[in-house]
Structure 1
């Protein structure tokens, strides 16, 4: 029996080193520009060492962001779903890898029976009770001669890495959504503060007009116009409560809480604009998790071609058994009761009327589709960054102009009210100047909001500090959350 075991081990070692049919994976080339078109007009790129890493949101200097962003990776339900999908993919790798090795089993049986002797008598004599039993170990193995199992492992590992990158992409997307919601809430609070100050100013203007009306120096229509202007401002102030509540509810859900569980105090301090070093376009291929997803899916489809090609070749399975069998049961483990067997089976499909050819063609077409998806994802990524850079460049120019306009509008409203009190202009001039002041101040807030949102978008579009080097080799299942 030792000779048999040695031969089986030698066969195992030899067959494990078999070939792998199908194409080996090579990442397709994609055209990458030397630099972003919009970058020179936006800002000078900072050293790569200063690129956002990990807690990128801290650059905005907002306490609420610093408090809530770490909760996204733990409590956000979209992220938790992506994490569960990743764990499932890792388990599939384990299942595929197990097919490389033999299946070992142990089987035992025992029986007790009694049969009657042949007799014509109604009182037939019964034979004694007999016992029998067996114990047997067995091993079966289908050697991976053509690499089908190894290609399957390769496919599942790439799929698991795609799931890991999907998890990173989901986390980054939800973090960006949270940062955007916090910015929207902060802008709403700032707009509320602006409107409250406007209501106070309009209240004072109404008092002046009413005094003028009492003195007979202002027409009744001026009082009505001032009162209407004040009431409209109050209505706009009240309406902002809806937007703020919606943003607060969205923030709660993004961190995995019920809306009533999170209370966000009102604040008028806006997040600061951080400096974001963009780097060169070639780094984007390693920094965006959605590109990594597309690249790993492409690798998985390439391996699937090898799995399909392997169906052209015969499959071989080996089996062996070793044990004892005895009847009666006594003395089962004696050498005289020793039994063993060796077996082999070869299976090859001769005619399938094009089924295997169709499977290979389908796998190759799926791979070509994944290549197109990868290249399209890369192009879209470049577009996203260019859009962000152009938006930030143009908004920076617009901010300078609109800030100056807001200062002038404030001064114009003050002068118009003074001139009205002096009797040199009518109230229409005052109302127009005050409306212009409010509108321009809100435009300035809108530009600040868009600059902050575009900065968050840019951080997301350059990967938020993530790197494809963080992808595991899928050899371990990872720690559970």
Structure 2
């Protein structure tokens, strides 16, 4: 038959491939209601979205060399990042495997055998003679296997694998963002505790001097034993605060060690009091923020992958067609193996159509469609969470800015109260209880001021995370 001439085989393959262009469901990203502007009033600086720009190292905006070194160490040694990077490599490999289905596979086979036939074997015809034969058999062949993608199973699998790879890439970026943000948050919490410890230690020094003064007055008979006992109790209570703060600091120090890939027992961070730098974090419009958030991108790519899986499930309802042309050589002698008379070939087409599967294919399709709806819900939730976090960051930044000014005023007022109470007590017209109350008020105001400054740094980190990373150095 001349049907199997090469030109005709090419035509058959081309027609089959055109037939294969049956797409799965078209992927359309669902619309999500996004406000045009943030509700929080200025001050906040609007940034221009540019995903090609560097989103890190955004932590350098805070101008802290220790934080910069810790972040670099975390990026290089964090097991969580190694895990996310390994998953990305797996996704890339899966995409490579899926893409290979778009092309035919070629198999080269070869063999050499020597065999002896039985003289008593059944004869092929009545005229044949019973003889035994010993002979060689040399073969060399090239086989092709190709699935005609009639219903788009292969192409849908490729789309799903590519979307999953992009999702894994977004997950890696999100892991980096979360790691950097958590490390910065723990770092500023630790430094805020350092500042609180410094404030408490300064208060302890003042209270010890006050105790010495009261004790001296008591020795001269100008102060009562109650005054001495009250001042001693105040000093003891303040000393207790140091231990509580050190315990909290140790927990943050251990957390930082883990984030940087260092065993906690071999990690230490010397105490240091910072003057927090509060950088201006540019914030884009809500619609632009969604383009930068890696967790939102991951959720969107998960939708695309789930949509493609519906195409894979639908393809199971259509025939599966395999093309398997083969060409080769076979000869009883090695010397004549490559002669024209040793040529052999075949062309085969096989098709399988499921007639009855007790609802298995329909169940798989229903499962895929439900899985897609789940990813849609997850994407909508990710968008809502992103909007919430940015609003929280903006409002928190504005509120804490006002609170910081009020806290500084409170410290100044508390200091004046202590000065007046001390002067009145030394002048003999005030009670020592007034001095104790003034000491407590000053310490509370100072600690509150330090805590608010730490919260400002925390909120700045939170806002950077909420907008999907930094916008480059400002």
TM over 0.5: yes
CA distance in 2, matches of 1:46, 1:34: 13
CA distance in 2, matches of 1:148, 1:132: 40
CA distance in 2, matches of 1:102, 1:83: 31
Pair 1:231 & 2:236 matched: yes
Pair 1:415 & 2:440 matched: no
Matches within 5 A, 1:382-397: 382-397=387-402
CA distance in 1, matches of 2:439, 2:54: 42
- Unpaired runs of 5+ residues, structure 2, are 121-130
Pair 1:271 & 2:276 matched: yes
Q: Which residue of 2 aligns with 1:180?
A: 185
Q: Give the direction of change, closer, same or farther, for the CA distance of 1:47–1:135 in structure 2 (3 Å limit).
A: closer
Q: Is the 8 A contact 1:287 1:466 kept in 2?
A: no
Q: Which residue of 1 aligns with 2:78?
A: 76
Shift of 1:184: 0.7
Q: Which residue of 2 aligns with 1:477?
A: none
- For residues 76-111 of structure 1, give each alpha carbon's deviation from its aligned partner in whole angstroms, at most 9, with x where no partner exists: 111111111111011100000001111111112222
Matches within 5 A, 1:436-475: 436-465=441-470
CA distance in 2, matches of 1:97, 1:223: 84
- For residues 370-423 of structure 1, give each alpha carbon's deviation from its aligned partner in whole angstroms, at most 9, with x where no partner exists: 112111211111111111222222222222222111111112112212221222
Q: Which residue of 1 aligns with 2:38?
A: 36
Pair 1:240 & 2:245 matched: yes
CA distance in 1, matches of 2:287, 2:117: 84
Q: Give the direction of change, closer, same or farther, for the CA distance of 1:158–1:465 in structure 2 (3 Å limit).
A: farther
Q: Which residue of 1 aligns with 2:176?
A: 171
CA distance in 2, matches of 1:313, 1:197: 80
Shift of 1:285: 1.5
Q: Which residue of 1 aligns with 2:409?
A: 404
Give secondary structure in 2 for the equivalent of 1:48. Answer: coil
Shift of 1:221: 1.7
Q: Which residue of 2 aligns with 1:105?
A: 107
Q: Which residue of 1 aligns with 2:322?
A: 317
Give secondary structure in 2 for the equivalent of 1:382. Answer: helix
Matches within 5 A, 1:52-63: 53-63=55-65
Q: How many residues align?
A: 458
Give secondary structure in 2 for the equivalent of 1:333. Answer: coil
Shift of 1:193: 0.8
Shift of 1:284: 1.6
Q: Is the 8 A contact 2:4 2:347 kept in 1?
A: no
Q: Is the 8 A contact 1:319 1:344 kept in 2?
A: yes
CA distance in 2, matches of 1:49, 1:332: 67
Q: Give the direction of change, closer, same or farther, for the CA distance of 1:141–1:401 in structure 2 (3 Å limit).
A: same
Pair 1:338 & 2:340 matched: no
Moved more, 266-275 or 164-173: 266-275
Shift of 1:161: 0.7
Matches within 5 A, 1:148-159: 148-159=153-164
Give secondary structure in 1 for the equivalent of 2:347. Answer: strand
TM-score, length of structure 2 as denominator length: 0.91
Shift of 1:236: 1.5
Shift of 1:260: 4.0
Pair 1:307 & 2:308 matched: no
Q: Is the 8 A contact 1:21 1:310 kept in 2?
A: no
TM-score, length of structure 1 as denominator length: 0.90
Moved more, 193-202 or 317-326: 317-326
Shift of 1:466: 7.8
Shift of 1:262: 3.5
Q: Give the direction of change, closer, same or farther, for the CA distance of 1:450–1:104 in structure 2 (3 Å limit).
A: same
Shift of 1:227: 1.5
Q: Is the 8 A contact 1:325 1:332 kept in 2?
A: yes
Q: Which residue of 2 aligns with 1:352?
A: 357
